[in-house]
Amino acid sequence: MLKTISKMAVIGLSFISFSTLAEPHPVTPGPQITQELIDELTIADQVLFDAVFNNCDLKASHKLVTKDFEMYHDKWGKTASSGAEFLQGIRNMCKRRKDGSDINARRELITDSVKIYPLNHYGAIQTGTHVFYGIYDDKTEVLRESGQFTHLWQKVNGKWKLARVLSFDHQPATQSAQ
């Protein structure tokens, strides 16, 4: 009887050991990047920064961020908890630029730094480097700063909207930063 129990225990342990090798939930790859997604986000990024940062187009800016938008910036912390708060910040920046208390500026994306990661049933993550130029009264542009970003884009009714921003690693730039 003891031998029978011992044999059953060995068989049982062997079965348990073997069954743990078979994964009940196999690992599958995430969604794959497509050229269409790259093209769409490249355009969305350009439209967003042209409207918000480069041109102070508040009407266009309103359509480009989600209502629950959030932004975090290494220099200033959490700068927006909603799309409305973000747009008010843009409105204030544009007013300061117009009255001369803030420098006019232009953002440029370093295209070969961009990486895009699709998110099923939501949108995509975009990371990369961008540089910022100061624009002076004589229209001279001077490279001032570089920074890193992570953007969470949401596709809403076929349109890309920015939902979250992490803006970090801002550094004084040199002409060799490009």
pLDDT of 110-159, one tens digit each?
A: 999 999 999 999 999 999 999 999 999 899 999 999 999 999 999 999 99
Distance CA 77, CA 67 (A): 19
CB 93 within 8 A of CB 79: no
At residue 1, does pLDDT exceed 60?
no
3-class secondary-structure state, position 109: strand
Residue 62 CB coordination number (10 Å): 13
Please choose, from the candidates 143, 149, 146, the residue with its C-alpha nearest in 3D space to the C-alpha of residue 168.
149
Looking only at the bridges linking them, the beta strands covering 159-172 and 65-73 are parallel
At residue 173, does pLDDT exceed 90?
no
CA separation (Å) from 166 to 78, 127, 139?
A: 9, 9, 30
- pLDDT of the residue at 119: 97
3-class secondary-structure state, position 139: coil
pTM: 0.81
> Using one digit for the tens of pLDDT, what is the confidence trace for 14-57?
444 444 556 678 898 889 999 999 999 999 999 999 999 999 99
Radius of gyration over every alpha carbon of the chain, rounded to an integer in angstroms: 25
- pLDDT of the residue at 98: 93
